[in-house]
Amino acid sequence: MKKFIVLFFLVLSVITCQNVSAENITATGVGVTHNEAMNDALRNAVETAVGVLIDSKTMVDKNVVLEDKIYAVSKGFISKYDVIESEEDTNGWRVVINAEVDLHPESQLMDELTKLGLIDNKLRNPKIAVLIPSDFTAETAVVKAFNDAGFDNMLDIGRYRSEYSNAFNLNSEKLHLVAQSMQADILVVGNATCENIGDIGKFLPGKKKTGTLSCRICLDAKMYVEATGQIIASGSKDGAAVDSSVEVAAQKASKVAGKEMGTYLSSKLLELAAGNRQRIEVIVVGAGYDKIMAVENALHKIKDVKNINLAYKDGRGTYSMNYAGSPQTLFAQIESNIECHVELRSSSYNRLMIAVW
């Protein structure tokens, strides 16, 4: 019987995950010649993708720079494209394409936008609000997943939960108002539905009741950026669990779905922020060489830390590295990946001083 229960639980818990590094965009271009129309469509596709990353005010203020450095070489930022429509009339050509604009953290477009200083700095340690009024357990699990990913600026939205009970179905304009009212840089809204499957005995030979009840939770969520007005990630995650109580089974399933959703959304945010990777120094004081090496081992466990270099002198180790988040977030990740005692002595925009013993 136990084997049947475990097998049933595993089947219910199958979740499909995607990690997309390209923005799929449909764009239209016009021109006197077919070639002009194609170039216009490619430019418009890249401009749309840039709009996901940069707020509208910055796009206006930096329009000349964007025209010269980005839009003028749009084709180089597109992984592939398909022509959906192509037609000629008395005014010239009109072309519609479906293009994949490469937004991978190491892509040429992200690199150029970073060099130009156009990526929104708020992505480094944003204020994040998570609102899933239909399932507080799932909401809590999403928040914990963001915390575990190193985002430590999570907002308490308790008083807004009843006010925005239908937040998931709000349009972009209203999501903007909600994010502003919460003073959130990133707003995650979701909706959970529960399916009470009942006694798992009906799925077993003989169909006898077992007293073990099953529940499935489906959690839909999307992540909205207040500065740009864009939804940068959305998805659906399922969670399933069994227990002698259907209420407890539902709570367990909510935790599973919430954790999976939070992990997915936080990874998308880290992926986007990684294009804004900055140089950070971590200074380790009051420690022997073995403790300094313990810090280095912790740094290597943090997936968004790149290009680590160490300068060691007189018992002080200075690490320089590329990192997408804030120094405070980096300290939290070091603390969770090291077995020694660690203390934050000071921090600035791109420098962290810690003591280890």
Written as tens digits, the pLDDT of the chain (357 aa) is 444 444 443 333 333 333 334 568 999 999 999 999 999 999 999 988 887 667 666 778 888 888 888 988 998 889 899 999 999 988 899 999 999 987 765 578 877 886 776 764 455 568 899 999 999 999 999 999 988 877 778 998 888 888 888 899 999 889 999 999 998 989 999 999 999 999 998 888 988 899 999 999 999 999 998 877 888 899 999 999 999 999 999 999 999 999 999 999 988 887 666 555 556 789 998 778 888 999 999 999 987 788 898 988 877 889 988 776 667 778 888 999 999 889 988 765 467 889 998
pLDDT at residue number 290: 87
Residues 154 and 10 occupy one common structural domain:
yes
CATH code of the domain in which 69 resides: 3.30.1660.40
Q: List all residues 6 or more positions away from 247 whose beta carbon is below 8 Å from its beta carbon.
A: none
Other CB atoms within 10 Å distance of the CB of residue 279: 11
Look at residue 216 and give its three-state secondary structure. strand
Domain boundaries, position 11: 2-16+123-275
Residues 6 and 38 occupy one common structural domain:
no
Which tokens is 272 given?
A: 């986007």
pLDDT at residue number 99: 92
Residues 296 and 234 occupy one common structural domain:
no
Q: Where are the alpha helices (DSSP H) in 218-318?
A: 246-273, 289-300
Q: Are 237 and 207 in contact (CB under 8 A)?
A: no
Asked if residue 180 belongs to a domain, the reply is yes
Number of domain units in the chain: 3
**Which run of H or E residues covers position 112?**
helix 108-115
CATH code of the domain in which 195 resides: 3.40.50
Half-sphere exposure in the Cβ direction for 328 (13 Å, CA)? 9
The bridge status of strand 128-131 relative to strand 78-89 is: unpaired
Residues 163 and 64 occupy one common structural domain:
no
Residues 157 and 266 occupy one common structural domain:
yes
Residues 214 and 197 occupy one common structural domain:
yes
Spatial separation of the C-alpha atoms in residues 63 and 55, rounded to whole Å: 12
Asked if residue 115 belongs to a domain, the reply is no
Asked if residue 284 belongs to a domain, the reply is yes
Asked if residue 117 belongs to a domain, the reply is no
Asked if residue 107 belongs to a domain, the reply is no
Residues 213 and 65 occupy one common structural domain:
no
Residue 132: DSSP 8-state:
-
Report if pTM > 0.85. Answer: no
